[in-house]
Amino acid sequence: MSAVNLLDFDLEGLAAFCEQLGEKRFRATQLFRWIHQKGATDFEQMSDLAKSLRSKLQGVATLTPLTVISEHVSSDGTIKWLFDVGQGNAIESVYIPEDDRATLCVSSQAGCAVGCRFCSTGHQGFSRNLTTGEITAQLWFAEHTLRKRLGTSDRIISNVVMMGMGEPLQNYNALVPALKTMLDDHGYGLSRRRVTVSTSGVVPMIERLMADCPVALAVSLHAPNDPLRDELVPLNKKYPIAELLDTCRAYLSAAPRDFITFEYCMLDGVNDTPEHAQQLIQLVKGKINCKLNLIPFNPFPQSGLRRSDLARVQQFGRELQDAGIVTTVRKTRGDDIDAACGQLAGEVQDRTNARDRMLRQPVAVKISLPKPGERHRSGH
C-alpha cells in the first residue's frame, strides 16, 4: 500500500486520517500547522507531536512536494515556476509581487478541455485533472521557498487566483479541499475576499461553490452576445450568457465581495468595437453588480488573433466607465517570461487532439450581431 500524501487533505480530511490511526483531532491540527504554516517535510521535525504518532506516520504518510523543472524571473519581479506532474505533463504557477499584495496564480489541470480561442493552454489540449495535493503544493512551495529566500517567517502570499492552467470548476472535487486549506486559519489563513476562482462559466459548479466554499468569483466573459461567445468560449454553447448571469446574480448572495468580476480579453476586430461596448453595457448595467477587467491579449502564433491597440482598449474602457460600470485594464505582468494572462502552457500530453481541432476552426473576425431576442448557433 502506497503512502498517503498529506498535502491531499484539508483539515477535516487530515482529522479523519488521524482518526484512522487512533489519534485525536487536536493531533491533526498540530500536524496541519507543521505542514502548511511551517513548511515541514520531515515528521521528526514536528517536535510537539507524540513520538508514537511520528512513528505511525512513517511508512503510511508522506509530504510530497512538486518537482521544479525550471524557474524564470521577469524584469518586473514576477516569477514563473514549471512543475513536473508526471507522465510527460508539466504545469505552471506564477508569483506576482506588488506594493500592497503578493499574488500566486495557481493551476488546476494539466491542460484545459474548454478550448477558448485566445488561450495558449487551451491550444495545448487536456491531459488530466490535478490532485488536491498538486494544487495545494503550488502554494506550499511558493510560500515556503519565498520565506527562505527573504529570510522571514512572515506570510508572503496574500492572494491566490485560480487562473493558471485549466478550468478549476471542471476539477471541483480536488479544488474545494485545496481552497479550504488556503482559507483555514491553521493553514494559510487567507481571506475569502483574497482567494479567487476564475471560471469560463460552468454553471452547475458555480452553484455548488456558492454552497460549499464561496470565495471571490471571476468569470471569463470575453463577448457581449451568444454568437460571438460561442466562437470564443465554446462552453457558452452549453451554458449561454443569460443562464450564466442568472447564476452569477445568485452567487452574490453568498460571495465575500458584493460584485462579480467579468474578464474580457481584448481582441482586435473581434470583440473590441463601440458596438460591442454598447452591447456589454446593455448586458450588465443595472442587472448585476460587477467589475469589468479588460485584459490585453497576449498573442501566440496558433491563435490567429491580434491584440487590440492601447487606444482602442482605453476608448472601450471609457465607454463602460461613462455608463457607470466599474472598469479596469489589467496591467500586463511577466510577459517577458510568458507568464502573463493566457500565456501559461506548461507541457501537456494532449488526450483531446485540441491542436488539430482548433487549427481547423479559425475564429471568424467579423461576426454579425444578433437581433434582439435572437440566438444564433455557429455551425462548427
Say if 368 falls within a structural domain.
no
Q: What CATH number did the domain enclosing 45 receive?
A: 1.10.150.530
Q: Which three cell numbers stand for residue 208?
A: 455548488
Using DSSP's 3-state secondary structure scheme, residue 44 falls into helix
Query: Given pLDDT bands bounded at 50, 70 and 90, which one contains residue 303?
Result: confident
Give Cα separations from 282 to 170, 285, 291, 320, 325 (angstroms).
30, 6, 14, 10, 11
Query: Given pLDDT bands bounded at 50, 70 and 90, which one contains residue 361?
Result: low
Same domain assignment for residues 275 and 181: yes
Q: pLDDT digits over 347-357, tens only? A: 666 565 555 54
| Residue 379: predicted pLDDT | 32
CB 172, CB 205: distance < 8 Å: yes
Same domain assignment for residues 240 and 178: yes
Say if 249 falls within a structural domain.
yes
From the list 112, 116, 213, 341, the catalytic residue is 341
Domain span holding position 76: 67-359
Same domain assignment for residues 146 and 240: yes
Q: pLDDT digits over 94-109, tens only? A: 999 999 999 999 999 9
Same domain assignment for residues 35 and 111: no
Question: Which among 299, 298, 303 has a CA at the least distance from the CA of 359?
Answer: 303
| Residue 349: predicted pLDDT | 67
Predicted confidence (pLDDT) at residue 371 exceeds the cutoff of 60: no
Question: Which among 372, 267, 244 has a CA at the least distance from the CA of 316?
Answer: 267
Predicted confidence (pLDDT) at residue 341 exceeds the cutoff of 60: no
Tell me the average pLDDT across 249-272. 97
Say if 255 falls within a structural domain.
yes
Overall domain count for the chain: 2
Tell me the average pLDDT across 319-334. 88
Query: Given pLDDT bands bounded at 50, 70 and 90, which one contains residue 299?
Result: confident
Same domain assignment for residues 231 and 323: yes
Predicted confidence (pLDDT) at residue 301 exceeds the cutoff of 80: no
Radius of gyration of the chain (CA): 22
Same domain assignment for residues 83 and 122: yes
Say if 195 falls within a structural domain.
yes
Contacts by residues 367-371 (CB-CB < 8 Å, ≥ 24 positions apart): 367/227, 367/228, 367/231, 367/270, 368/227, 369/225, 369/227, 369/275, 369/279, 370/225, 370/226, 370/227
Q: What CATH number did the domain enclosing 82 receive?
A: 3.20.20.70
| Residue 302: predicted pLDDT | 76
Q: pLDDT digits over 151-198, tens only? A: 999 999 999 999 999 999 999 999 999 999 999 999 999 999 999 999
Decide which of 62, 77, 110 is a domain's last residue: 62
Q: Which three cell numbers stand for residue 129?
A: 485533472
Say if 367 falls within a structural domain.
no
Same domain assignment for residues 19 and 131: no
Using DSSP's 3-state secondary structure scheme, residue 102 falls into strand
pLDDT cut 90: percent of the chain above it: 78
Same domain assignment for residues 163 and 310: yes
| Residue 370: predicted pLDDT | 44
- Which range, of 172-181, 261-270, 331-340, averages the lowest pLDDT? 331-340
Same domain assignment for residues 55 and 142: no
Tell me the average pLDDT across 312-320. 97
Say if 269 falls within a structural domain.
yes
Rounded to whole angstroms, how far apart are CA atoms 62 and 57? 8
Decide which of 62, 82, 100 is a domain's last residue: 62
Same domain assignment for residues 117 and 196: yes
Q: pLDDT digits over 9-23, tens only? A: 999 999 999 999 999
Active-site annotation holds for 341: yes
Using DSSP's 3-state secondary structure scheme, residue 89 falls into strand
- The per-residue pLDDT of the chain, averaged, comes to 89
Same domain assignment for residues 17 and 114: no
Query: Given pLDDT bands bounded at 50, 70 and 90, which one contains residue 35?
Result: very high
From the list 18, 23, 92, 167, the catalytic residue is 92
| Residue 152: predicted pLDDT | 96
Query: Given pLDDT bands bounded at 50, 70 and 90, which one contains residue 300?
Result: confident
Decide which of 14, 41, 62 is a domain's last residue: 62
Say if 372 falls within a structural domain.
no
Same domain assignment for residues 223 and 280: yes
Say if 152 falls within a structural domain.
yes
Rounded to whole angstroms, how far apart are CA atoms 295 and 132? 29
